[in-house]
Amino acid sequence: MRKVILASLLLGLTSCGSSPTPATAARDFLQALQSFDIPRATSYMHSDASISLVETAMDEPYTSAVRKALWNRMTFEIPEVAASDQKETKVPAKIKIVDMASVGDKIIAQKDMSPEFIVDQINSPSADMREETIVFLMKNEGDSWKIANSEDFELEKLLGGLGGL
């Protein structure tokens, strides 16, 4: 019974942008990107974090369609990192995402920059994938862990290697 109550509490916390462990917060952030739930993704970011990558995802239909397709194809693995009494900790995440440089080569070869063509290339089962490691710097904010700014957090990795996308 105690396990059921604890599981219910944890599920309730993670659904509100509050995460009991650093790894859970990083995992929830990436899952929010996968489902293109931008408000939920930003809720896992520390107040000092630069969240322009996530916030600009909805700026224009072209950007929105491409990022939605890209993040939907993304897969990731995050090892469990135990929460400690520390205020900060690092969480590595191995991601697999469409290689946008390869998509760019196809755009040039086909002379087609339409959002539909780009999304089709991203969604293609034969799209080249790249594996990256992102290191999230996690900061404790009361009862939850949030992603903070860090030199290790290379946002362009979440864009398939193209930072300007």
CB-based contacts of 165: which residues, under 8 Å, 6+ apart?
63, 66, 67, 70, 100, 159
Which pLDDT score is estimated for 19?
Answer: 64
Residues 127-145 have a mean pLDDT of 91
Query: In the structure, what pLDDT confidence band is assigned to residue 156 with cuts at 50, 70 and 90?
Result: confident
**Which regions of the chain does DSSP assign to beta strands (E)?**
75-77, 88-98, 129-141, 144-148
19-23's contacts with Cβ under 8 Å and 24+ in sequence apart are 19/44, 19/144, 19/145, 20/83, 20/143, 20/144, 20/145, 21/80, 21/81, 21/82, 21/83, 21/145, 22/81, 22/83, 22/89, 22/91, 22/136, 22/138, 22/145, 23/78, 23/79, 23/80, 23/81, 23/91
Query: In the structure, what pLDDT confidence band is assigned to residue 111 with cuts at 50, 70 and 90?
Result: very high
Between 95 and 63, the higher pLDDT residue: 95
Give the range with max mean pLDDT: 39-43, 124-128, 139-143. 124-128
Residues 55-72 have a mean pLDDT of 80
Question: pLDDT over 70 for what percent of the chain?
Answer: 75
Residue written as token pair 């862990």: 145
Q: What's the whole-model pTM score?
A: 0.81
Mean pLDDT of the chain: 80
Residues 130-144 have a mean pLDDT of 89
Q: Are 116 and 75 in contact (CB under 8 A)?
A: no
Give the range with max mean pLDDT: 35-44, 49-58, 68-77. 68-77
CA 98 to each of CA 1, 24, 67, 127, 146: distance values in angstroms, whole numbers, following the listed order: 43, 24, 11, 6, 26
Which pLDDT score is estimated for 24?
Answer: 92
- In the chain the domains, ranked by start, together with CATH numbers, are 2-159 (3.10.450.50)
